[in-house]
Amino acid sequence: MEQPIAVTRQSFDDWMIPVYAPADFILVRGEGSQVWDQQGKSYIDFAGGIAVNALGHAHPQVLAALVEQAGKLWHLGNGYTNEPVLRLAKQLIDATFADKVFFCNSGAEANEAALKLARKYALDSGNREKNQIVAFNNAFHGRTLFTVSAGGQPKYSQDFAPLPGGITHTPFNDLGAAAQVINDRTCAVIVEPIQGEGGVVPAQAQFLQGLRELCDRHGALLIFDEVQTGVGRTGSLYAYMNYGVVPDVLTTAKALGGGFPIGAMITTDKLAKTLGVGTHGTTYGGNPLAAAVAGVVFSLINTSEVLDGVKQRLEWFIAGLTEINLQYPIFSEIRGAGLLIGCALNPEYAGRAKQITQLANEEGVIALIAGPDVVRFTPSLIIPEQDVKEGLARFARAVARICS
Ligand SMILES: *Cc1c(COP(=O)(O)O)cnc(C)c1O
């Protein structure tokens, strides 16, 4: 056999379109919540592939499902349905408010489908004027042109103008401001129950309840973007279950495939009728390989053992992070829910989240940022206590270096 092409971190700069600035090492293997780089150095993984690898790396049952399905059938195209996708649909329906499911391959695509559904539902109801979408400042909904325009960080969209119109942004957690912009021309309100990329900022319960009431009053659809908060991340299967506010449409991706790309939009029977044959679609959506993997991931996570375990693990993190913060007062707030944890930096350390994660890498732990001022942890939902302790000990060494 031919030798594989030799690759180093420099190869990234040589060959890749530079939309990312990855770490200066290359990871080659993972098991549970540990990963190893080309040089054999080990890291504790507190990022989980950005809230994706919810059962860690190489989980034996997930791996077995992948291998089994890989030997049977990978892809058919949507002219033919398949068993794994139908089973996964039923799992999602049984576990949530939804009656119907549309599958795609990413969070952005799930949100794209949700926004298109809302526009068409309003149009089909006979109101040509009802096409306005309300979204929130600092929100993140993906990188397609429609979803990046719905997102609330103009720096990600403005260079791609002209942008899709009819989208209004208003401050998150400000119900009064939302009431000013939601009206009878609004077809949808899209919101993250916890803003993830925007800094790990939970919605207040009254805010989501108020949005539900405003949507009901004005006949607008309430879309919950649970791409990051879904599939057990917050200690409930979906975050809406914590809030007791039921959306009309919910989008889910990231953890759904445990690392295999898949996304879904779920909704009610009534709304699902909007997207009749030929109105929307995607080649890979609902392919049997992704669906088989997601089916196992979903059933492993949707147990009281794993969901209660998330709450237990949050306590381990809070205890460890509080201790670090007592020694080196670097955080002004530790917030989030379950294993979506945001550590907001004190003003003194503003803008240094990235530098902290780089030092963390040097100490052997993988962490994320959520904007320049927040360090974010989204580890595996089943990370062992020993890995939490060891990872936090390594993280403490990184913090000590920043603070000295
Ligand atoms: C990651 C994310 C998305 C985008 O998902 P992709 O799979 O990257 O397209 C959308 N919404 C939220 C809340 C996210 O966290």
d(CA 65, CA 204): 38
Ligand 1 touching residue 108 (CB < 6 A): yes
d(CA 380, CA 377): 10
CA of 105 to the centre of ligand 1 (A): 11
Q: Which residues contact 305 (CB under 8 A, 6 or more apart)?
A: none
Q: For residue 161, what is the DSSP state? A: P
CA of 18 to the centre of ligand 1 (A): 20
> Which residue is closest in CA terms to ligand 1's atom 5?
107
- Position 196 confidence tier, pLDDT thresholds 50, 70, 90: very high
Task: Give SS3 for 34.
Answer: strand
Please check whether residue 235 is in contact with residue 338, taking contact to mean a CB–CB distance below 8 angstroms: yes
Ligand 1 touching residue 131 (CB < 6 A): no
Ligand 1 atom at shortest distance from the alpha carbon of 254? 7
Over residues 75-132, the pLDDT tens digits come to 999 999 999 999 999 999 999 999 999 999 999 999 999 999 999 999 999 999 999 9
Given a cut of 90, is residue 337 above it in pLDDT? yes
Ligand 1 touching residue 140 (CB < 6 A): yes
Given a cut of 80, is residue 1 above it in pLDDT? no
Predicted local distance difference test score (pLDDT) of residue 404: 81
CA of 6 to the centre of ligand 1 (A): 32
CA of 395 to the centre of ligand 1 (A): 26
CA of 163 to the centre of ligand 1 (A): 19
Over residues 278-313, the pLDDT tens digits come to 999 999 999 999 999 999 999 999 999 999 999 999
| Type and span of the H or E element at 191 | strand 186-191
- Which two tokens mark 26? 């290359």
> Which residue is closest in CA terms to ligand 1's atom 10?
141
Predicted local distance difference test score (pLDDT) of residue 346: 97
Ligand 1 touching residue 112 (CB < 6 A): no
DSSP bridge partners of 375: 343, 369
Predicted local distance difference test score (pLDDT) of residue 12: 98
Ligand 1 touching residue 257 (CB < 6 A): no
Mutate to test the pocket of ligand 1, among 53, 104, 136, 141 (most ligand atoms within 8 A of CB): 141
CA of 51 to the centre of ligand 1 (A): 10
Residue with structure tokens 């449409």?
249
Over residues 209-266, the pLDDT tens digits come to 999 999 999 999 999 999 999 999 999 999 999 999 999 999 999 999 999 999 999 9
Q: Which residues contact 24 (CB under 8 A, 6 or more apart)?
A: 9
Given a cut of 80, is residue 71 above it in pLDDT? yes
- Which two tokens mark 185? 């021309």
Over residues 363-398, the pLDDT tens digits come to 999 999 999 999 999 999 999 999 999 999 999 999
Predicted local distance difference test score (pLDDT) of residue 85: 98
Residue spans of alpha helices (H) in 125-201:
145-150, 175-181
Average pLDDT along the chain: 98
Predicted local distance difference test score (pLDDT) of residue 8: 97
The total of other beta-carbon atoms located within 10 Å of residue 12's CB is 15
Ligand 1 atom at shortest distance from the alpha carbon of 229? 13
CA of 117 to the centre of ligand 1 (A): 18
Percent of all residues in the chain with a pLDDT value above 70, rounded to a whole number: 100
Ligand 1 touching residue 192 (CB < 6 A): yes
Q: Print burial letters for 162-175: b (CB count within 10 Å at least 16), e (below 16).
A: eebeebebbebbeb
Ligand 1 touching residue 349 (CB < 6 A): no
CA of 39 to the centre of ligand 1 (A): 31
Predicted local distance difference test score (pLDDT) of residue 195: 98
> Which residue is closest in CA terms to ligand 1's atom 15?
228
Predicted local distance difference test score (pLDDT) of residue 163: 97
CA of 129 to the centre of ligand 1 (A): 29
Please check whether residue 340 is in contact with residue 229, taking contact to mean a CB–CB distance below 8 angstroms: yes
DSSP bridge partners of 223: 190, 249
Ligand 1 touching residue 228 (CB < 6 A): yes
Ligand 1 touching residue 227 (CB < 6 A): yes
Given a cut of 80, is residue 158 above it in pLDDT? yes
Classify 32 in phi/psi space as left (phi over 0), alpha (psi -120 to 50) or beta: left
Please check whether residue 195 is in contact with residue 138, taking contact to mean a CB–CB distance below 8 angstroms: yes
Predicted local distance difference test score (pLDDT) of residue 2: 83
Ligand 1 touching residue 151 (CB < 6 A): no
CA of 141 to the centre of ligand 1 (A): 5
